[in-house]
Every structure is written in structure tokens, then in C-alpha cells.
Chains A and B, each alone.
Chain A
Amino acid sequence: MKLSLSLAAAATMVAALGVSASAQETPAASPAVEPGCELHVFPSLEGKAMTTGWLSGFGVIGAVADAAKNKNRNISEAEYLKEALGPRLQVQALKGIDLPAQLKLPPSKVVYETAIADRNITTKAATRLSSSTAPCYAELIVTQNFYTKKAIYGRSLNNRFVFKDFRTGKDKATLVKGRGGNGLSAFPPKTTDETEAAETDLRSAFAKNFVEFAKGVTPAK
């Protein structure tokens, strides 16, 4: 009940934020000058959750017991993660960051695209995923949203990203893949009163994960 209440609260909050997909453009540089470069961002539809306890340390039998014990929790937390960090909220979190600067790109127009469901496309396709023909063009794709709770390490959010830099002028770009993982202190919420704090915690971890990933990105040569 608590969880369903918090889901409803999350949905209300999500609706209030009002972010729309595809062709959502955010000039990251000075608004007076339209940047010549484009960064297209694809959020993820994914939401996975996995809680494992001490039992998993006792071999297969323990793991079976653990999987059975945490079954409902894994389902509800995966569903909650999809709500609380769905594409709209990922975009909301990324809007708080200067994405081109983090990715070492020149000032760019940031275009938020519709999420792509097929992992074979997001993790393998080397060509552009939008119809833009801008010569100065790059893509950032979120490919994983994974909440884990482990007996030893506690709660964390892990994200995987793919960055494609087309500024070399080639039709195909190298896929720079990487991840970021940060601990969570308030997510998932135990009561509805904690919903806001939990979701702020989640989005903050998501933003940190991106920054962590971006540190390892080097411009294409």
C-alpha cells in the first residue's frame, strides 16, 4: 500500500514536471547564439532491480531462497524505478547538467529524443540515430538503469551510457561505452513522506553516474 501510494505521488510529480520527448531542444550555450553543434540524447526505458541478502552467500540453495524471498520486492522496485527514473525524469536530471561541457564538446544544442527499446540498436548501431545531418553532431544514449541492494555494499544505482562522436565527418562513429555507479541513501522510500527525498536521491545518483561516465570520455580524433 505504501508503495502504491508513493507510486501515485511519483506519477503526480512526473506529470507536473511536463517534459516532452523528441525534438526537445535545449541550447546549452549562450541563448543569443545558436550553437552549430548538436548533441542528441536518448534516455532509457529500462528499469531493473535486484535485492540480494546474506543467503546468496550460501551457494545455490541460499540463492534460491534469496530469489524467492525477494521476488515481490524485485518486481515492485523495478516498477518503481521505471516510474521514478523513466525517460521523462532522466531528461529532467540531465537538464541540470551542462552535457556538452561534461562530454568535452563545443557549445551544442541538446536535443532530447524518444527512448529506444531495442538494446541491439542502442549498444551496437554505429550510425546516427536521428535524421539530423549536422556536421558537428554527437549522441549520448542511456542504456541501463539498474538498482541493486546487496548485503555488504548496500543500495546503489548503476547506469550504462554510450557516447558517439560524429565530428570526424565519418558516417559511423566509435561507440564509447561506460558506466557510472553511486550509492543511494533514501531510495526506495519506506513511507510516502519519504517519496520526494527518495526520488531526489535517485536522480542525483543518476546525474552523478553520468558525470562519472563523462570523465572517461575523450573527444574523437
Chain B
Amino acid sequence: MKKLIGLCIVVALLSTGAPVAAKKEADVKAPPVLAEADRATPDGRLVLSNLYQREIETSVFVDPVARTPYGGTGWYGGWGWIRGIENNNQDVIAARLVAAAERNAVPVRTALSDFDTDTLALATTKAALAKPDWFQARGVTGSSDVFAISKADFLAQNAAAQIAFVRYRYDLSPDFTQIRVLAMLSIERQQLGKDGKPAGQPVAIYRQNIMSIAQMRAPSYEARDNAKRWAADNGKLAKAALTAAFGQFERLIPFALGLSQAQLTAFNDKNSTKAFAGGYYGTLVARDADQPDAVLIWKNGLVHVQPVG
């Protein structure tokens, strides 16, 4: 049960707001804009591209449980007890939702079992980082197992002025109407000793999260039915969604890396033009010229939503 609740917290974090969700990754504060002085790197950058998972993850929507007027945390001891009971109710409901989502995901996972997401992720990183002239990716190392090449090992083995990390996660939305891919970008400046070897902790100089969502056209209100649609015909739609969602990063990653402080300020302006897409509400950045239903918004990071199917 504890394991389930733990998993539930993870998926809840993922589901509550993609770019926001990866806050845990951003323990070290780093700006979402790369300073002009940090762009040029004579020796180029090393890149580590990670895909954190073996199969598509699930997420759940856990709405707050009903609370009694007594459920506060006042000095009256009883209030805390009630809050404890209510919080436990929420945990029980969350655990059951996680179990149901895991059951519903089985056909999608089976259909995607022969789909090489690792290769797709690595190819996406390479294609995306080749686009900005100034980026100068010296080499892109891919790993589908975070433990096979840990960040610490990678840093210890590789000397470069800057190292870029592109980490991906992908999941199904709680209602199974979307396949979402989250890319977590970060760039760190390595401290090099006199001998040219890494010395000391690297400094994070850039961090941004991008969400790319493939949304099923005319979905059902039932997650089970949507799962069947993703999985039908050997996962044709799920594979197309993943390909489309990863494909967007080829232009979103260069766009995110090139953002200026002025653009960011405009995106965060509370009077900016807003748009709703894929469950997110944020500043409208652009509507795709080739498909009017596809939209790019800014909600603490870039969120791109495109219809599939």
C-alpha cells in the first residue's frame, strides 16, 4: 500500500502540471534563459540524453476529498485527527485510482512493447540540438537507464566547459485522452581544475521544462475506451502520438534554448493573451500554421498541444 501511495504521489506530481511537475528536478535554482555570455563555448558542449523509463507511465487526477468544517489544524487536538482521517481518505482513493490506471494501461503498454522510444528520444535530442548554430553539441550520449550512466559518473568521466542534459518522461493523462512527453533541459557549467579535469560541483546555468502533448481527437469519457483506441492495430495511434510528440521537440528545444529575457517577461505578463490547451491555461505563444488546433502556450514552461487520430 505504501508503495502504491508513493507511486501515486509521483504520478500526481506529473499530472498536476507538466513543466511545474518537474520542480523536484530543479532542486538547484537555474534561470530559464541562457545568458548571452554562456552561449559561446569554444570547445562545444557535451550532451547526456536520458529516457527515464521502460514503459509508458500513468497519472491520476485526485480531487480534494470533502472536508468537514472541523478539519482544520487549530489548537484543538481533534481538528488534526479529522484532517488525518480526511487525508487518509484521499490516499485510499488515490491508491485505487492508481491501480485502475495501471489496469487500463495494460493494452497500451503491450502495444508499445515493440516501439523503440529510446532511439526516438536520442534521435530527437540530436536533431533538436543540431539546429541552433551556437549550441555546438560535441557529442550526444544516450541512456535509457539512469543508473547505467549517472550524472555524477558522466561528469567525472567527461571534461567540458558546459554539459547539457535532456531528460524525458512520457505518460498517459489521467483520462487517457493524451500521451504527454516532458523534456527537462538543463545546462551546467563545469568547474575545471588546472589539469583540465572536473573539480568541484558544476553550476547550473540554465533549466527549462517543455511539455509536448498529443491529444486524441474525439475521445471517450471513459479511460478504458481511450486505452483501447491507443492500443488498436498494434498501437498505431499511440505510436503516432509518441512520434508526433517527440517530433515537436525538434523545434521546441531550439526555441526554448533561444528564449530571451524579454520574451520570458512577456510570457509571464499577467495581461498577456491567454489560451487553454490540453488541460493547461497559459500565455498564448503561437498557433501552428499547418494545423489550427495545435497550440503552443507558456505555463511555467512551454506546452505544445496537438491533436492526433
Contact = CB atoms under 8 A, between A and B. Distances in A.
Contacts of A63: 68, 70, 78, 82
Contacts of A45: 61, 63, 174-175
Contacts of A14: 222
A148 B69 CA distance: 14
Nearest to B293: A131
A130 B17 CA distance: 19
A75 B177 contact: no
Top 8 A-B pairs, shortest CB-CB distance: A60-B78, A88-B221, A50-B66, A48-B66, A63-B70, A87-B221, A129-B276, A117-B61
Q: How large is the interface on A (under 10, 10 to 19, 20 to 34, 35 or more residues)?
A: 35 or more
Interface of A: 14-15, 19-24, 43, 45-50, 52, 56, 60-61, 63-64, 66-68, 71, 74-75, 78-79, 86-88, 91, 114-118, 120-121, 125, 127-131, 146, 148, 171
A128 B217 CA distance: 19
Contacts, number: 121
Interface stretch (B89-97, B130-138, B206-214): B89-97
Contacts of A148: 66
Given A23-B217, A88-B222, 15 more contacts: A20-B219, A20-B221, A21-B219, A22-B217, A22-B219, A50-B66, A67-B70, A78-B93, A88-B221, A114-B177, A114-B221, A115-B175, A117-B174, A129-B281, A171-B273
A75 B89 contact: yes
A116 B222 CA distance: 14
Q: How large is the interface on B (under 10, 10 to 19, 20 to 34, 35 or more residues)?
A: 35 or more
9 contacts: A20-B219, A22-B219, A52-B68, A74-B66, A79-B93, A88-B222, A117-B63, A127-B274, A148-B66
Contact of B82 (A43, A67, A86, A116): A67
Contact of A117 (B81, B218, B275, B279): B279
A64 B82 contact: yes
Interface in B266-305: 273-277, 279, 281, 292-293, 295
Contacts of A50: 66, 68
Given A67-B85, A79-B96, A91 B276 contact: no
A15 B220 CA distance: 10
B79 interface: yes
B219 A64 contact: no
A151 B96 CA distance: 29
Contacts of A46: 63
Of residues B68, B177, B292, which shows the largest number of chain A Cβ atoms within 10 Å of its Cβ? B68
Given A24-B218, A64-B82, A118-B279, A131 B66 contact: no
A130 B261 CA distance: 30
Nearest to A50: B66
A21 B216 CA distance: 10
B55 interface: no
Given A78-B93, A114-B175, A125-B276, A146 B219 contact: no
Nearest to A119: B63
Contacts of B218: 20-24
